[in-house]
């Protein structure tokens, strides 16, 4: 995340306090400033350390805990009070809020709830004055057909984002049967996505990071299973939890989807901040893109996430023009990557990303510019100078052919 939240916690119960510590120590977005085992000492701890968040566990003594929440709110208004309890009683929640708690979480702690609460607290503390999206970006990279270069885009985009020291980036290969992100990074991982999914019920940030393979570019990789029969062991619920954990610990999460648009792929799309749909300028790709966009319009908020990326522009003179492509799909092209077959086949065969193998190549510079745009101005488009917004023309899909 862009900002790190400083947190102090109090919990007289050693077991639950240690469990909370383990969670926060594995998060890059949170710095555990202090811990306390006595309610009566916590006010002094907060006064001395000035944390952004004061976490109060209510279960050991509800009355003492609620009095502490009230005193913290009065004496340290700049500290956001977050309470946690195993009780879901509505009256208790109301009492905690009236005492001054800004967030209420229940035990056992769901990581998705924690991430959402921390995101809201971060927004209140740091705001959005810089105009940049808060929290982690989840970028799903999906193809409209096989062989359009989806994995190459995902891998090299991840490496381009990881070049900045302020970024922590991970890539998850969700093409569970035939994914090859590990090959493009020349990596031999010790753990795969199936190892993580089998331990998902006891998964924490520390265990998850140990399951990732770090590339020399700084990119972390979670590859697909080795054995085909292991694919069935991974469920959409597992993927949702894994993405939630990664989103809490990394500034950028890249998801390399399969072409099947399975239930797992749909979970990834729903959790994504941006969806890069990779196409080429040919009729099958445009036809599939139109079909996909028609389906995405039926999904709440999905169409707004879509960014159409044209790969291998200039592949041959017989390609459909960008203008006709935009008229057909009814929206602007977000980004174009030039065709550079010789460079791409070299980096793929060598297992070295573009930013290391060919840093000055035009396609590398375009990938870097794409990474910078996604970070700084998600709405920016690069549409090859087409004047005016494209008009809807889905009925023309089968009526045009490449210019000679």
pLDDT at residue 398 is higher than 50: no
pLDDT at residue 133 is higher than 50: no
Domain ranges of the chain: 5-126, 137-394
Sequential DSSP letters for 355-389: HHH-TTSHHHHHHHHHHHHHHH-TT----TT--SP
| Tens digits of residue pLDDT in 165-211 | 989 999 999 999 999 999 999 999 999 999 988 886 666 667 778 88
Q: In CATH, which superfamily holds the domain spanning 137-394? A: P-loop containing nucleotide triphosphate hydrolases (3.40.50.300)
pLDDT at residue 136 is higher than 70: yes
DSSP E strands, 86-204:
103-106, 137-143, 169-173
Tell me if 5-126 shares its fold with 137-394.
yes
Q: How confident is the model at residue 23 (pLDDT cuts 50, 70, 90)?
A: confident
Question: Cβ neighbours of residue 59 under 8 Å, at least 6 residues apart?
Answer: 13, 16, 85, 86, 87, 107
Instruction: Kindly provide the b/e burial profile for residues 374-397, where b requires at least 16 CB atoms within 10 angstroms of the residue's own CB.
Output: bbeeeeeebbeebeeebeebeeee
Q: How confident is the model at residue 402 (pLDDT cuts 50, 70, 90)?
A: very low
Which 8-state DSSP code applies to residue 275?
E
Give the percent of the chain with pLDDT over 90: 71
For residues 53-82, give the mean pLDDT.
96
pLDDT of residue 397: 41
Q: How long is the chain? A: 404
pLDDT of residue 379: 40
Q: How confident is the model at residue 329 (pLDDT cuts 50, 70, 90)?
A: very high
pLDDT of residue 203: 65
The CATH number of the domain covering residues in 5-126: 3.40.50.2300
């Amino acid at each position: 995340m862009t900002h790190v939240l400083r947190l102090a916690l109090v919990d007289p119960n050693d077991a639950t306090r240690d469990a909370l510590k383990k969670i926060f120590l594995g998060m890059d977005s949170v710095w555990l400033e202090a811990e306390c085992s006595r309610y009566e000492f916590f006010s002094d701890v907060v006064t001395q350390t000035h944390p952004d968040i004061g976490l109060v566990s209510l279960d050991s003594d509800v009355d003492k805990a609620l009095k502490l929440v009230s005193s913290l709110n009065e004496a340290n208004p700049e500290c956001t009070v977050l309470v946690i309890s195993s009780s879901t009683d509505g009256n208790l929640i109301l009492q905690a809020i009236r005492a001054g708690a800004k967030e209420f979480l229940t035990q056992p702690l769901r990581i998705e709830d924690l991430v959402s609460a921390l995101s809201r607290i971060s927004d209140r503390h740091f705001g959005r004055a810089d105009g940049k999206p808060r929290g982690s970006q989840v970028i799903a990279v999906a193809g409209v057909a096989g062989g359009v270069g989806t994995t190459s885009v995902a891998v090299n985009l991840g490496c381009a984002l990881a070049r900045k020291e302020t970024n922590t980036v991970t890539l998850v290969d969700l093409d569970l049967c035939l994914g090859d992100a590990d090959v493009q990074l020349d990596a031999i991982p010790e753990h795969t996505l199936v190892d993580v999914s089998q331990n998902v019920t006891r998964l924490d940030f520390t265990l998850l990071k140990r399951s990732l393979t770090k590339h020399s570019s700084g990119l972390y990789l979670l590859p697909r299973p080795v054995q085909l029969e292991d694919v069935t062991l991974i469920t959409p619920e597992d993927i949702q939890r894994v993405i939630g954990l990664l989103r809490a610990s990394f500034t950028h999460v890249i998801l390399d989807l399969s072409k099947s648009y399975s239930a797992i792929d749909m979970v990834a799309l729903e959790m994504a901040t941006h969806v890069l749909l990779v196409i080429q300028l040919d009729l099958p790709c445009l036809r599939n893109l139109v079909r996909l966009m028609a389906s995405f319009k039926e999904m709440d908020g999905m169409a707004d996430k879509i960014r159409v990326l044209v790969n291998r522009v200039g592949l041959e003179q017989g390609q459909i023009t960008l203008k006709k492509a935009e008229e057909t799909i009814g929206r602007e092209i977000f980004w174009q990557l030039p065709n550079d077959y010789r460079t791409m086949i070299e980096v793929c065969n060598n297992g070295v990303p573009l930013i290391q193998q060919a840093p000055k190549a035009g396609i590398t510079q375009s990938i870097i510019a794409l990474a910078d745009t996604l970070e700084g101005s998600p709405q920016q488009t690069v549409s090859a100078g087409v004047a005016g917004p494209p008009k809807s023309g889905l009925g023309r899909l089968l009526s045009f052919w490449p210019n000679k």
